[in-house]
Amino acid sequence: MATLTSLTNTGGGIQATGSVHPLGNNQTSWYRLYHCADGTDTNPAYAGGWLHIRTPYPATNEAGGIGWNPNILEVVGFHTYEGGYTHDFKAILNNSGYGDNTWYGSQIRVNDGNTSPVVYQSAVAYGSYKRVCIAVPKVGCCCVGWIWIRFWNNVGYRADYPWATVGRANNTAFY
C-alpha cells in the first residue's frame, strides 16, 4: 500500500478501493462512436471530409437544458490507422436561458489535438429540442477510428433521443 508523502509524490504504487472520481457526479460516462459514417459527400474523391455527430443532449433551455448553466463537452479520439487526425478538445456549451435560446456553444477553449472541430446547435428540433452537434475532420474513406464523448457539469446524462452521425464534405451545420 502506498504512503502519501505529499500532494504530488507517493512512495510505492497507488491502490484505490473506490472510484477516484465517481461518474454521474460531475461527468457523464464516455459514449463511443465509430468514426466511419456513411454519407454521399465522404467518398475518396474528396481530399477530406467531416464527421457530423448529433448528440442527445439538449442545446436549449427547455426542460432543464443548458440555459444559464454552462457545461463542458469533451471529445477525444482518432481517425486513420496512423492517427492522421486526433481529437482532444473541450468546448463550453451555454445559451441565454431566455425563450430565444441564444446559443453560446461554439467556444472551443481547449484543443490538444491536430484538428479544428466545430460545435453547433442543431437547426431543427429533434424530439422537441434542438441538440448539441459536433463536426470533426476525417479523411474521405471509412478508415478505422473512434471518438469518445462526454459532458461535464452535474447535469445528468440525457438519453431521451438517439445519437446520430453522418459524413459530409464540409463543416457547416448539417443537423
Q: Quick one: three-class SS letters along 110-121?
A: EECCCCCCEEEE
Q: What is the residue type of 172?
A: T
Beta strand 10-11 with 107-111 is unpaired
Predicted pLDDT of residue 2: 52
The answer to whether 60 and 124 are in contact (CB under 8 A) is: no
DSSP strands (E only) in 16-175: 31-34, 49-58, 71-79, 85-93, 107-111, 118-121, 131-138, 145-152, 164-168
For the chain, domain boundaries: 25-168
Average pLDDT value over all residues in the chain = 75
Instruction: Compare 34 and 14 and report the one with higher pLDDT.
Output: 34
Predicted pLDDT of residue 76: 94
Nearest to 26 by CA among 150, 152, 159: 152
pLDDT-derived band at 44, boundaries 50, 70, 90: very low
CA 142 to chain centre: 20
Q: Write out pLDDT tens, residues 80-127.
A: 777 678 899 999 888 887 777 788 776 777 888 888 899 999 999 998
Q: How far is residue 113's CA from residue 79's CA, in Å, rounded to a whole number?
A: 11
pTM to 2 decimal places:
0.77
Predicted pLDDT of residue 141: 67
Predicted pLDDT of residue 156: 53
Beta strand 31-34 with 10-11 is unpaired
pLDDT of 12 over the 70 cut: no
